[in-house]
A = this chain, B = another copy of it.
Amino acid sequence: MPASQGRVLLAYSGGLDTSCILAWLIEQGYEVYAFMADVGQEEDFEAARTKALAVGAKKFFLEDLKREFVTELIYPAMQANCIYENVYLLGTSLARPVIARGMMAIADREGCDFVSHGCTGKGNDQVRFELAFYGLKPDIKVIAPWRIPEFYHRFAGRQALLAYAAEKNIPVQQTAAKPWSTDENLFHISYEAGILEDPNNTPPADMWKLTTAPEDAPNTPERITIEFERGLPVKVTVPEQSRTYTDAVEIFVALNSLARKHGIGRIDIVENRFIGVKSRGCYESPAATILRVAHMDLEGLTLDRNVRALRDQFVTIELGKILYNGHWFTPEREFIVSSIPASQRTVNGLVRLKLYKGNVVVEGRSSDEGLYDAKQSSMDELGGFEPSDTTGFIQIESIRIKKWAQANIRKGQGGVQPKDVYGSRV
């Protein structure tokens, strides 16, 4: 059958699912180009290229997006201390926009009217990919086989895919599939599905791939220092290695290696997907965990209190939601991100860390910014400070509270209250 349906750029992984999708798309009459992004995952890209072309892809594109992944996505997220539901550092979410942009650039250049992917119909990634596609190229057409009934009914279960692979001469790795799914990149690896679907199942020790178990990590702590400029790491010093790292990608790689060694960055949570389904996920985010601790600590020393509070409540939370829900190429991301530079102007300085069996311990920090003044905070000297001023401060702060207390007492609702839960009358 001629490729009468048009040209599709397929997000290809080299695995069983997307190989079958490749074959199926050809079967449906599409001309298929395969696309892979190198975002730092462990992968045999050459084998994948060979496989894609063998299955029938007309072209194969591999894009190295590691640097833009770090500098354009990870960096602003880290400056804003983004985190989802207080726990998840957003590793998969962060990679999707760079992959989607890489695909749209190829689709544009190569004249592809369609893109396709192997995301399931219940997850976040389908949403993240497709909203990113539409935010860059609103006329792109998306083929999502796992949401097309004729596809998902035909390929219900791994056996059906294996049978189809055999029929289409798609080579399949002989090793049994792991009883969970993963997504890996420079920032993290995720584990979900399979045996993890019971949230009371403890993940097996051999699941974790990017970090040593804390129990198996060295018995001796290791010290490093990280220097930040405008909230970004610019120099990591590792005395045990007698080395420093200054390149953005190299910093990430080096910190991943240190965190791996010391068992840092594992989490295991139940989270809420964008579509409203609760889902159990395990993650390893090694370098990111170290950087988060160091960055937040330095902000304590160098960032104004009110900027920090406003940034925490609005930018940190809202950008976390934007990332998780795949809203990177949207006006709200443009809006929120525009405020980050002003929040990081003073975040300059150095943090000393101890890494030990899963712990990232801050042992000290310094900065030339000058917002911290030991004399001013000291209990032992006045330091240009009149304690009597605080009396005025407290008196003024109490005006409103006294009025409220007087009203409560007048109404018989206040005073030295009866002891109750919350001390509240409501």
Contact A131 B397 (CB under 8 A): yes
Contact B72 A330 (CB under 8 A): no
Contact B269 A300 (CB under 8 A): yes
Contact A390 B392 (CB under 8 A): yes
A: contact size bracket: 35 or more
Q: Tell me the bound Cα distance from A298 to B340 in angstroms.
A: 27
26 contacts between A and B (CB under 8 A): A71-B421, A130-B394, A131-B401, A135-B401, A136-B405, A197-B377, A198-B374, A199-B365, A200-B366, A214-B356, A215-B219, A269-B362, A271-B300, A272-B305, A276-B398, A278-B305, A278-B371, A278-B377, A304-B331, A306-B330, A310-B318, A331-B404, A342-B426, A370-B406, A392-B392, A393-B393
Contact B342 A276 (CB under 8 A): no
A221 to chain B, nearest CB (A): 7
The answer to whether the Cβ of A104 comes within 8 Å of any Cβ in the partner chain is yes
The 5 closest A-B pairs by CB, nearest first: A392-B392, A121-B387, A276-B400, A272-B305, A270-B300
A291 to chain B, nearest CB (A): 14
Contact A426 B334 (CB under 8 A): yes
Chain B residues contacting A261 (CB-CB under 8 Å) are none
- Quick one: copies of this chain in the complex? 4
> Which of A42-50, A250-258, A409-417 makes up part of the contact surface?
A409-417
Chain B residues contacting A279 (CB-CB under 8 Å) are 377
The answer to whether the Cβ of A358 comes within 8 Å of any Cβ in the partner chain is yes
Q: Tell me the bound Cα distance from A105 to B307 in angstroms.
A: 26
Determine the residue in chain B with the shortest Cβ distance to A369. Answer: B407
Best-buried of A279, A330, A403 by chain B (most CB within 10 Å): A403
Contact A97 B423 (CB under 8 A): yes
Contact B339 A335 (CB under 8 A): yes
Contact (A396, B276) CB under 8 Å given A138-B409, A342-B338 = yes
- Encode contact with B along A139-175: 1 for CB under 8 Å, 0 otherwise: 0000010111100100001000000000000000000
The answer to whether the Cβ of A193 comes within 8 Å of any Cβ in the partner chain is yes
Contact B335 A338 (CB under 8 A): no
Best-buried of A305, A385, A396 by chain B (most CB within 10 Å): A396
Contact (A147, B331) CB under 8 Å given A426-B338, A426-B342 = no
Contact B397 A127 (CB under 8 A): yes
Q: Tell me the bound Cα distance from A392 to B131 in angstroms.
A: 13
Contact A301 B199 (CB under 8 A): yes
The answer to whether the Cβ of A188 comes within 8 Å of any Cβ in the partner chain is no
- Encode contact with B along A333-368: 1 for CB under 8 Å, 0 otherwise: 111111111110110000010001111011111100
Best-buried of A120, A296, A387, A390 by chain B (most CB within 10 Å): A390
Q: Tell me the bound Cα distance from A75 to B415 in angstroms.
A: 23
Tell me the chain A residues, 100-147 only, with Cβ under 8 Å from chain B: 101, 104-105, 108, 120-123, 126-127, 130-131, 134-138, 144, 146-147
> Which of A8-16, A29-37, A52-60, A79-87 makes up part of the contact surface?
A79-87
Contact B338 A296 (CB under 8 A): no
Chain B residues contacting A352 (CB-CB under 8 Å) are 200, 202
The answer to whether the Cβ of A38 comes within 8 Å of any Cβ in the partner chain is no
Chain B residues contacting A397 (CB-CB under 8 Å) are 127, 131, 276, 393
Q: Tell me the bound Cα distance from A130 to B396 in angstroms.
A: 12
Determine the residue in chain B with the shortest Cβ distance to A264. Answer: B359
A374 to chain B, nearest CB (A): 4
Tell me the chain A residues, 258-311 only, with Cβ under 8 Å from chain B: 266, 268-273, 275-280, 296-297, 300-301, 304-311
Contact B342 A335 (CB under 8 A): yes
A25 to chain B, nearest CB (A): 17
